[in-house]
A and B are shown apart, each in its own frame.
Chain A
Amino acid sequence: MIPPNVPPSEEPTPSPEPGPEVERVDYEVSLRSLSQWELVWRKFRRHRLALFGLGILGFLIFVALVGPIFLPFTSVPPRPEQIVITGRPPFCLKFDLASHVCTKAALMHPFGETGGLQSDVLMLVVNGARTSLFLGFTSMAIGVGIGTIVGAIAGYLGGFVDNLLMRIVDIMLSLPLLFVILIVARFFKGAQDNAWSIILVFGLLSWMGVSRLVRSLFLSIREREFVEAARAVGVRDRRIIFKHILPNALSPIVVVASLLVGANISGEAFVSFLGFGISPSTPTWGNILSNALGYIAQGNWWWPVFPGLAIILAVLGVNFVGDGLRDAFDPRSRE
């Protein structure tokens, strides 16, 4: 679910102008200045959770790209030897619904089978990875992109422009998610066939929080001495915005972006639950999870748990990486 608001600011941390760094190595003394990015990477590397998160993300992306080759998506699975309306648990050949006991195990369906047509849950989760991850990152990119630009302009220019933009933000913020989804669904008929309508909806609904955050950062940073200095020297506004202020505002934006990816991925489950999700012929973690709802009470734990775990892993991964980046950009964090 989309967080009700994006935390408007983890307080902006000023970073001093980059200067030479001394690197100590045994038996040798060398003077080499590390670039900003190398610094960041070094600090990131020390952050265990962040590396772990990077590993998770990498694994998920790998599965999304390669998995469907080994487990192609079939919409109609072959007729199973045992028809159970609830589906069968992992590694189970014969399942007794009354006693919920697997009477005969077998090396098949490591994630179990869904209810209804009894599709393989592993196959669904692997194929769903693509759409879910794509959805999460793309809608974040749209939201952060628009939000940063709007917030930067509003925060830097101030005055009338700031007012106008923020009032527009107010109007957009008043539109509840459910309402907007309904409108989009009714206006763009046939939109359920692909993920773009959801991506658009999430993107268009998340930029407001980002813009408020960026605006407050800019309002604060633009009063600093180095900005004044840049202006005094005659640097153009656009350059000031993008080359001077924005890099200093990066770390909270990164955290927010990572939160957004997670929110969008699990928000997709919410939208599927409401009935406006992507049509089930394209599996996503969200719509697999919401289709499972009617069967949980029948003891079918495996159908929702595995896509749920996938969502959790993706959210964890992306947020750990975001945390790591945030700490890495913060010059005061210890190595």
Chain B
Amino acid sequence: MHKRLLGLLASSVIVFAACTSNAPASSTEVSTAPATEPPPTTNPIDISNTAYAPATGKTGGQIIFGDWQEANEFNPYYYSQVTEANVASAVWASLTIATNDYKTVPDLAKELPTTANGEVKVPGDGSDKMTITWTLKDGLKWSDGQPLTCDDFAFTWKWITDPGQAGVVTVGWESITAIDCPSPTSIVMHFKDIYEGYLGLGTPLPKHYMSNISIADGLNHKGFKPADMPNVPTSGAFKFESVTPGQELRVVRNDNYSGFISKHPAYLDRIVWKWYGEEQAMIAGFIAGEVDIATDLVETDIPTFETAGKKDDLSNVNSLSYEYLALNWADGTKRDATSGLGQCSQNAEVADRGKNSAGSPCPVADPEFRRALTYAIDKNDIATRILGGYVKVANTNISPDDYYYADQTPATLDPAKAQSILDAAGWKVGADGIRSKDGLRAKIELCSTTKPTRVDSLKLIADELKGIGIEAIAHNVSAADVFNSYNEATATEPCNIYRGNFDIAEFTTSSSVDPIVYYSSYHSSQFEPKGGNIAQISDPGIDTALDTVKNTVDLATVVKAMGDFQKIYVEKTVEIPLFYRAQLDAVDYSKVGNFFGNPTSAGPTWNVVDWFVKS
């Protein structure tokens, strides 16, 4: 079951990207920006010229898609698991879609609104900070034949921002003051803030189906229960045929939808989702031929496919997720006893490290201490010994495929250098081989979940740190403790990251195509519970860069600001990324055509409209 919990959490992290960036990509290309911004000096960045060109297939057939977590939530704004995101991608369409090469193309919209074609106005009309005009394609219909118009988008906005709503990401939508519908295919959004993730604001809900369901009832799944699903009108390539909890889910072709590139309805008659109870059983099921596609795999499963002779059936794309060591910047001097704000690890095992003269019991708060860590930790060892070399070592949190990625000089493994940095910073080696500075012993807690690869990597790291005179206690606790939400955790819950009860914590998080995401994680105003800055990072240079990103729609400005951010990220050792995760799916390529893994929030089912059965 830990696998289940972990899988839920790991995949929820990936959904972090999904939920945080309904905007798969950032704003439009550079051109006639308002006079207040300096003219761009870099080349315009085109975010919509995708290389995706699906093959032509034949109509008919069905494909069976296996997952080891069941999807229960079908409202596209309520889902919380990757498996639910996969189903949603197949049945709900949005204004835009993120392709497998990180580009954004229009789906329900006719074209992307840009400042060039006048559909993005900064500042906007009247008192708007920003006004965006979308033009829908002609003749859009829901799967039940009702027309899909601007009214549905207006309804969706009201639905999301309803004060009685719960469990919905309102970021971006709450910046909209009004949505006008000059014509059924024309949507005018009035913004009171500049929200540069606007391209992601666009999965319409069917007004004619949902307007009779109160928000409170909707929270109790009214209208979206398993028996209701065949009646739910959808906008995407497929619509629901049947939902059998505990066993499977069936969707059939929606003839009222045309593909974003291929411009025709789906080839397949039907897709069947089959729910497995265990990941290993699902892999065995794929090898046995019970399912055509198996998803939600991890890197250590790769040899299983090699053993079965099915290595070529693995779709392995770079994912936007990376595994990293979060370094708790808090120095513990201003610790709030009830909330835990400002604390580092409270674990009794490290309590004997004492305090330095400033009253801080937190060695990791020392920037030189953190810097030394980067030279002492052997990322290659972790990537090869524990992950079999199936992952790519990461030196920054930004994926190299993101358009704002800026190369940094990677840290090299150099324990001698680590030692000299510590010596120079005043961490003197004691009689037992462990360093201390100013009365504070170099003793820290390493936290992570009980996943076997993490147990192993914490062991390796502890060993390496011992070699440079740091005593590290590895502590693997259940994911339920590590990730327990802020309100439900206590200040001393073992290894809880939201309360800051750790010195170093290892887990997975995501970067995103949309850089607005980093604001919540790295800005000093975003400590828990307000934001997601769990490592309590506070740096003026980072704050400036992220403020710039938040308040602009100009791509070149974003690229420059993110470049600054990444530089500081390395210089001040904000955190230590270990390796990029891979997004793995097992696909029977002899049967399935046009499958392409997609690391963005759209997921592997992004292009189900083009899937076909090979004869």
Contacts and interface: CB of A to CB of B under 8 A. Distances in A.
Q: Do A and B come from one complex?
A: yes
Interface stretch (A2-10, A209-217, A293-301): A293-301
Contacts of B477: 189-190, 192, 279
A275 interface: yes
A295 B298 CA distance: 12
A97 interface: yes
Interface in A138-197: 185-186, 189-190, 192
A294 B307 contact: no
B460 A117 contact: yes
B496 to A, nearest CB: 10
A76 B452 contact: no
A291 B384 contact: no
A274 B2 contact: yes
Nearest to A117: B456
B478 A185 contact: yes
The CB with the most chain B CB atoms within 10 A, among A100, A294, A296, is that of A294
A225 B506 CA distance: 69
A285 B284 CA distance: 25
A189 B493 contact: yes
Interface stretch (A62-70, A79-87, A259-267, A314-322): A79-87
B140 interface: no
B300 A294 contact: yes
B2 A116 contact: no
A173 B284 CA distance: 36
Interface stretch (B20-28, B143-151, B385-393): B385-393
B385 A117 contact: yes
B280 A76 contact: no
B301 interface: yes
A276 interface: yes
A36 interface: no
Given A85-B388, A294-B301, A116 B453 contact: yes
B452 A291 contact: yes
Given A275-B2, A275-B478, A291-B452, A118 B304 contact: no
Nearest to A189: B494
A55 interface: no
Contacts of B455: 279-281
Interface string A85-124: 1100000000001101000000000000001111000000
Contacts of A79: 381, 385
Contacts of B5: 275
Contacts of B280: 293-294, 296-297
B478 A98 contact: no
Contact of A280 (B304, B386, B450): B450
Nearest to B453: A116
Interface residues of A, number: 33
B306 A97 contact: yes
A291 B300 CA distance: 13
Interface in B290-335: 300-301, 303-304, 306-308
A100 B308 CA distance: 11
B1 interface: yes
B2 to A, nearest CB: 2
A291 B455 CA distance: 11
Nearest to A272: B2
Interface string B468-499: 00000010111011000000000001100000
A328 to B, nearest CB: 42
A86 B388 CA distance: 8
Contacts of B481: 189
A190 B387 CA distance: 28
Contacts of A33: none
A97 B309 CA distance: 11
A192 B474 CA distance: 13
Interface in B43-85: none
A220 interface: no
Contact of A98 (B279, B306, B388, B493): B306
A297 B307 contact: yes
B287 to A, nearest CB: 8
A75 interface: yes
A118 B450 contact: no
A83 B384 contact: yes
Contact of B283 (A85, A275, A276, A297): A297
B572 interface: no
A123 to B, nearest CB: 14
Contacts of B437: none
A282 to B, nearest CB: 11
B478 A280 contact: no
A118 B389 CA distance: 15
Contacts of B283: 297
A200 B485 CA distance: 28
B307 A117 contact: no
B456 A275 contact: no
Contacts of A186: 480
Given A83-B384, A117-B385, A192-B477, A76 B306 contact: no
A83 B478 contact: no
B255 to A, nearest CB: 41
Contact of A298 (B304, B381, B384, B459): B304
A76 B465 CA distance: 13
Given A75-B459, A85-B300, A297-B304, A116 B478 contact: no
A192 to B, nearest CB: 7
A116 B307 contact: no
Contacts of A293: 280
Contacts of B6: 275
A276 B303 contact: no
A138 B203 CA distance: 59
B463 interface: yes
Contacts of B386: 85, 116-117
A142 to B, nearest CB: 24
Nearest to B464: A76
Given A190-B494, A275-B2, A297 B452 contact: no
Contacts of A298: 303-304, 306-307
A118 B494 contact: no
Contacts of B303: 85-86, 97, 295, 298
B459 A117 contact: yes
A291 to B, nearest CB: 5
B614 interface: no
Contacts of A294: 279-280, 300-301, 452
A116 B1 contact: no
Nearest to A296: B280
A295 B462 CA distance: 25
B208 interface: no
Contacts of A190: 477, 494
A168 to B, nearest CB: 29
A286 to B, nearest CB: 14
A281 B459 CA distance: 9
A83 B385 contact: yes
Contacts of B460: 76, 117
Given A75-B459, A298-B304, A276 B452 contact: no
A3 to B, nearest CB: 21
B3 interface: yes
Would you list the 9 A-B pairs with minimal beta carbon distance, nearest first? A275-B2, A85-B388, A297-B304, A274-B1, A298-B303, A76-B463, A116-B456, A117-B456, A76-B459
5 contacts: A85-B386, A275-B1, A280-B452, A294-B300, A297-B308
Interface of A: 75-76, 79, 83, 85-86, 97-98, 100, 115-118, 185-186, 189-190, 192, 273-276, 279-281, 291, 293-299
Given A190-B494, A274-B2, A279-B450, 16 more contacts: A85-B386, A86-B303, A100-B307, A116-B453, A117-B460, A192-B477, A275-B3, A275-B5, A275-B450, A276-B2, A280-B455, A280-B476, A294-B280, A297-B280, A297-B304, A298-B304
